[in-house]
Amino acid sequence: MTIPLHHPYWHIVSLIQNHQEISHLSISIYEYTPNSINDNREIFHIPRSDFLDEQHILKIINNLSGEQNISLHSDVKTLNGKKLHIPMVDMNTASKAHLEKLKNYLEERLYSELRWYKSGRSFHGYGRRLITTDEWVKLMGRLLLSNQKNMTPTVDPRWIGHRLLAGYSTLRWSKNGNYYLSLPEEISPFNNIE
């Protein structure tokens, strides 16, 4: 068994290979509880070499119980012990046209580097470079500000709240239980991003 080529795992593998300073990545196993403030997760810090081993990640995914899901965390540890983040976005819409709305709120380089995945009810975005914790906080603020008053939010505001409380972003990689509709799957780039 292999991880599908359109899964975000492969984007993260590419990011790791381009950032030799990454020593560990974090994932968590959780059970989703709708409209809860609780964000109970079992967190695992995985060495770079184990993360690059597809079979190691598949084993974790295959050992999930019926309601458990796995997610990748934005925070990575570097060889010198520094904490950096992978930029992440959890949209609140299944309309591809809404992805363009972020253009006015994010730095041009970060926006142009986002790789998008359809996750069922919305889209998940992953950056291609690492950012500092200060830059991550500013990113979360910009994502929140992209939501316009009296309009359906562009970015999931509850996701932003949970992530700010936790101190890291996280995006789902599996589809267990009845709540989630599909595995995340890469969409055709709308920005001519390769």
159: domain CATH number is 3.90.920
Domain span including residue 103: 8-184
Q: What is the pTM of this model?
A: 0.89
- Structural domain includes residue 173: yes
Q: Is residue 193 part of a domain?
A: no
Q: Is residue 98 included in any domain, yes or no?
A: yes
Convert the pLDDT of each residue in 91-100 to its tens digit.
988 778 788 8
Residue at 109 is within a domain: yes
> Is residue 72 situated within a structural domain?
yes
Number of domains making up the chain: 1
Q: Is residue 52 part of a domain?
A: yes
Give the DSSP letter of residue 173.
-
CB of 124 within 8 A of CB of 90? Answer: yes
Domain assignment present for 194: no
For residue 54, how many C-alpha atoms fall within 13 Å in the half-sphere facing its CB?
12
Q: How far is CA 60 from CA 45, 56, 136, 173, 178, in A?
A: 13, 7, 27, 11, 20
Structure confidence by residue, pLDDT tens digits, 127-139: 999 999 999 999 9
Residue 189 domain-assigned (yes or no): no
Phi, psi at 155, each rounded to 5°: -110, 140
